[in-house]
Structure 1
């Protein structure tokens, strides 16, 4: 009896709560989106399409098997943007907001789950931090929507213009990449519109920095010197990847006539589009250029940028910028023959380096296995391996860009993509929590050390 009561009273761990919570939201979203009322035609879009869309929205990915703008009704669009907002903020933060709105007290268990969601030490101020996260998100989304109104109201009228501005601002900040423009066009019709592209790009960047970094910037009044080490690493790596991606894309695609389609004919707009390409591949999923027309070199760079992704505690996915930054630093110090890895006059803990290595290896193995699996499912089609890897990493890193169209994959391949999107959103969170909080309670035994041959 005592054992049973112990099991009953044992609190659900944060990683299990994340797995169950996201699965529940995805399932509920799929049921709602499969209703005839959610469809623009009055007939259900089908459960698989609804499940794919719900997973993509909740996991803030952007891959779709049906066109979001034309397949769903206004109710369907509202459900999708709600799923995006919940997925972007994290359902625990969203649940906290609801509890506070209802006047309920935040329990110790919920505070512990919030602490693990942010991956921070201590319970002090976690509820306050959650409210700050919500305030930051809403501020950016409202400002972004107000800028987009300048373009969308003249194009679509007052009511539709406001709705479109809010939808795309939320989708951009949450790094989701869903659009309502129809025909799977994404932002290709705005390739010559710097106002829209730069606004969306800035929303993607700030959403991908991570709430803790933005909070740190606000708290220290944008003073780089006063920032925490984590914030410094995230900002430096983000700026580097944006510049690197922009330059590389411009070089690889400079004479790619099919990509520019004879419409983006001036230097400034080409620079804006290559900058946007570099930005959106860091887990956003919007596209101002047709990804099918990228060169193989361009697609390979896209895969690398998608794999890296955004930053911890952000709305984006991938292995995260700080993870890759630490591993690149480790490689540099190994080459120099230095055992300690240092950044900004601080030494990085070797346990964190080991965790970073584990995360990258797990993601790499998952990418290779899923690409192999989809290749088997698509063996009777003319899809190239680079396009299959492009789609797989886009799903796994919750990016949402596609070079061949998710709707053109077979049902088994689409189910694989659904699983990848789910793992991509839940996996890094649960992995970070597990690696950060699970300690081995067994007594440590020191075994004899022996060198092996490496490389």
Structure 2
């Protein structure tokens, strides 16, 4: 808070861009909560409690997918459309949605709005941010339309055309925005071995998860040599992690009767592929997550913590953050001063930011899980921890414990989802602010023992 003076011209509160972004997401969640509490939003015409409506709205805006009620049987068409709008606006981000309204209304977009947009998109500079927003909107609508069309054609074989079209639209928007909301009680389990559903859904959330920068960069450059270092890292690590994860899930679950054990060989590979690629981004599932072995749950928690790419619809600490930390560790082990990737040197400032984001993520998870151990006494703590990681990574996978959460536990997971959506972004912006205000005074150096 600032006192009025000749410089701030009487302004009392000076909000930083990070504060505005947080408030924007909070307002969107509040509006969604109010809409979901309307009796017309639920099939039994009895409105959801405030905690449940807040949980569902936060899950949608933060594109998480965790739910305390079944989406398909609890909500009316109105309630489901509200969820879809919250997912779409949440996936775009508060500032992207705001800029879209500015463009539609023909309003001038000033420097302040461009600065906010730069930070919300984790962009390198102000140059071209408005053009990027336009591309984001076009890419989103185009990819979602194609995905919805293919899914509608596939599902028209087993349901009416009207229902198939609606299912296609709902799941396409949910998948591209990495939300993971489904209309069936068992999510996508009935299509565990269906090639069309598996390929389309995974492509949708992977395209949304690699980020709009990567998509634009690939289409513009159309050459591996010309694409940026950021794009190379995202594509390489996404490919490697998807391949490794598919093999690991298959090896851990192929003889588990609760998941892959009773499936045919082909369906086992489809299920392993789907469960291997989904944890870093979306919360869909084609097998019962609660029946996974403890080893698989632990591995998936690691994937959820890593998350998707910056500037995407996914969450987590981001795959580039994870990659930078691995390269930094490799440089330390080799006693190298510089961190080089694809013949490019990484600034140390980025390494510090990556470390700060990872550590802050771990701290948030620890604090929320600690309080959950108090509120959810008697519960399976492995499942509680899994739900916490899922909320922190805005993934939405659930081991079946979410509906069993106490009201306080639901509130804690709601807070975790919100932190997971805006936490890393806010942290990065706070670091950028402090970087501009570095002190010119440097103290004497002294070492301490570590390790």
Q: Please tell me the TM-score bracket, short chain as reference.
A: over 0.9
Mapped to 1, the partners of 2:436 and 2:229 lie a distance apart of 27
Partner of 1:239: 239
Mapped to 2, the partners of 1:55 and 1:260 lie a distance apart of 32
- Ranges of 4+ aligned residues in structure 1 off by more than 6 Å: none
Deviation at 1:110, TM superposition (A): 1.2
Tell me the number of residue pairs that the alignment of Structure 1 and Structure 2 aligns.
448
Matched, 1:208 2:205: no
Partner of 2:394: 398
Q: How does 1:126-165 map onto structure 2 within 5 Å? A: 126-165=129-168
Matched, 1:105 2:108: yes
Q: How does 1:22-421 map onto structure 2 within 5 Å? A: 22-181=25-184, 183=185, 185-221=186-222, 223-260=223-260, 262=262, 264-265=263-264, 267-379=265-377, 381=378, 383-421=379-417
Correspondent of 1:6 among 6, 9, 15:
9
CA offsets 1:235-254 (integer angstroms, 9 cap, x no match)? 11111111111111111112
* Equivalent pair of 1:309/1:317 in contact (CA under 8 Å): yes
CA offsets 1:246-300 (integer angstroms, 9 cap, x no match)? 11111111211121362x22x2221111111111101200011101111110011
Range that drifts further, 188-197 or 107-116: 107-116
Mapped to 1, the partners of 2:214 and 2:10 lie a distance apart of 38
Deviation at 1:5, TM superposition (A): 4.4
Mapped to 2, the partners of 1:364 and 1:250 lie a distance apart of 28
Deviation at 1:52, TM superposition (A): 0.6
CA offsets 1:66-94 (integer angstroms, 9 cap, x no match)? 11111111010110000000000112111
SS in 2 for 1:156: coil
Range that drifts further, 403-412 or 73-82: 403-412
Mapped to 1, the partners of 2:170 and 2:216 lie a distance apart of 24
CA offsets 1:15-38 (integer angstroms, 9 cap, x no match)? 111110000000000000000111
SS in 1 for 2:225: helix
1:87–1:7 distance in 2 versus 1, CA, 3 Å:
farther
Q: Which runs of 5+ in 1 are unaligned?
A: none
Mapped to 2, the partners of 1:428 and 1:452 lie a distance apart of 29
* Equivalent pair of 1:204/1:279 in contact (CA under 8 Å): no
Partner of 2:440: 444
Mapped to 1, the partners of 2:412 and 2:232 lie a distance apart of 36
CA offsets 1:100-130 (integer angstroms, 9 cap, x no match)? 1122222222122112222334433221110
SS in 2 for 1:2: coil
1:411–1:193 distance in 2 versus 1, CA, 3 Å:
same
Mapped to 2, the partners of 1:74 and 1:173 lie a distance apart of 20
Deviation at 1:440, TM superposition (A): 5.1
Deviation at 1:365, TM superposition (A): 1.6
1:121–1:251 distance in 2 versus 1, CA, 3 Å:
closer
SS in 1 for 2:437: coil
Deviation at 1:339, TM superposition (A): 1.0
* Equivalent pair of 1:60/1:176 in contact (CA under 8 Å): yes
Deviation at 1:65, TM superposition (A): 0.5
1:371–1:309 distance in 2 versus 1, CA, 3 Å:
same
Mapped to 2, the partners of 1:414 and 1:4 lie a distance apart of 44
* Equivalent pair of 1:198/1:272 in contact (CA under 8 Å): no
Q: Which runs of 5+ in 2 are unaligned?
A: none
Question: What is the TM-score of this pair, normalised by structure 2?
Answer: 0.96
